[in-house]
Homo-oligomer: A and B are copies of this chain.
Amino acid sequence: MAGKRTTIKDIAEAVGVSKALVSFALSDSSKGYRVSEEMTKKILATAKEMNYKPNYAARSLRIGKTKTIGVILSDISNKFFADIARCIEDRAYEKDYTVIFGSSDENPVKLENMINVMSAKGVDGMIIVPCEKAEKAICNIAARTPVVLLDRFIENADIDNVVLNNRKAISLAVESLHSYGASRIEFIGYDLALTNVHEREAGYIASMKHFGLASNIRVHKVRFKYIPEDIESAIKSILARKGTEDAAEAVIFATNSLTIEGLKCFSRLGLRVPDDIAVVGFDGSEAFELFYTSISYIQQPIEDFGRESLDLLLRNIEEKSHTKVASVSLIPELVTGKSAVWDNSMKRMPEK
């Protein structure tokens, strides 16, 4: 196969000019150096005819940029991250960048490995979803290469980041449930030291206090590696209080995975949503559509995550000096379904 690719030299010979001229003509800006219009046309035509494709390796070696960025997510087969990946990919292609993806699985060793591989490949910058205990590795690379953090940030580290307004997100959930009259609202989150996890929990607590429900605050923390088990015991503890003064009326799930596992668990244990318990989940999901009732959930602006993080990164890459740290906080929305409709009188609300 193959049959050598045409190079700039081939074109130069074909047209009868120097390699330099071809190079200038091809770099459409031709800034400063002006090539005659006629010659430019001739060169472009010949290049096309000979099916010229620039050799990126050579260009990279010369200019020290690869036009490639690295993106390290938690897990690219997780819908939330897959959707973001897709946005980043599309936008990067537009801007003439190529993207290398990696999945850390919330494992700091893996994450550090990916950073090393990408760094060795010479990416121009990275978008990283930080995981626990990877702060140091990330700060190290951020000192040498443009980095934008996604979904979570690192405290006291001046690294650009794009995150959700997580407090706002959960307060929307509390507010909605409260508006239907629920007051014993519990929260199921992760047992992870991640800023987004922490902020969601803090948002729950603050919001409960705001509505005068401080005494009803109940936080359940699920271990990332034991989601089904821990959810089940959390929900069993809720079940155990059924019929008492302490009985939960509603549950807020802090992530999409937790929502889905939680709903499965409700079904397994015979709890009906929202009759037995009202629910607000996190992130939309195809799965919700197969559930017997429509789910209320917090919607994250996926496209904004992709666009903002990429734009921020490219700005860092293309600007020489990077003097200020940008922290972008995205606005969540509440998508209302019937799962959040808690009815004090235990009769169903009229469908709206």
9-residue interface stretch from A29-37, A118-126, A193-201, A207-215: A118-126
The stretch of A79-87, A178-186, A239-247 in contact with B is A79-87
**A85 and B76 in contact, given A55-B122, A290-B287 (Cβ under 8 angstroms):** yes
In the complex, what residues of B have CB within 8 A of residue A86's CB?
75-77, 103
Interface centre among A146, A285, A289 (most CB of B within 10 A): A289
A226 at the interface (CB under 8 A from B): no
Copies of this chain, how many?
Answer: 2
A58 contacts B61, C-beta separation under 8 Å: yes
Contacting pair B103 A100 (CB below 8 A): no
The verdict on A223 contacting chain B, using a C-beta distance below 8 Å, is no
Taken together as a complex, chains A and B put the C-alpha atoms of A122 and B66 apart, in Å, by 12
Q: How far is the CA of A116 from the CA of B98 in the complex (A)?
A: 12
- The segment from A16-24, A260-268, A324-332 found at the interface with B is A260-268
Contact with B along A86-106 (1 / 0, CB 8 A): 100110010000111111000
Residue A2, interface by CB 8 Å: yes
A53 at interface by CB-CB < 8 Å: yes
Q: Mark A132-162, 1 if CB is under 8 A from B, else 0.
A: 0000000000011110000000000000000
Taking A76-B89, A287-B290 as known contacts, 19 extra A-B pairs with beta carbons closer than 8 A to each other, sorted by chain A number, are: A1-B146, A2-B144, A2-B145, A55-B61, A56-B120, A57-B122, A61-B61, A76-B82, A76-B86, A79-B82, A85-B101, A86-B103, A93-B117, A99-B100, A260-B290, A263-B290, A264-B290, A267-B292, A291-B291
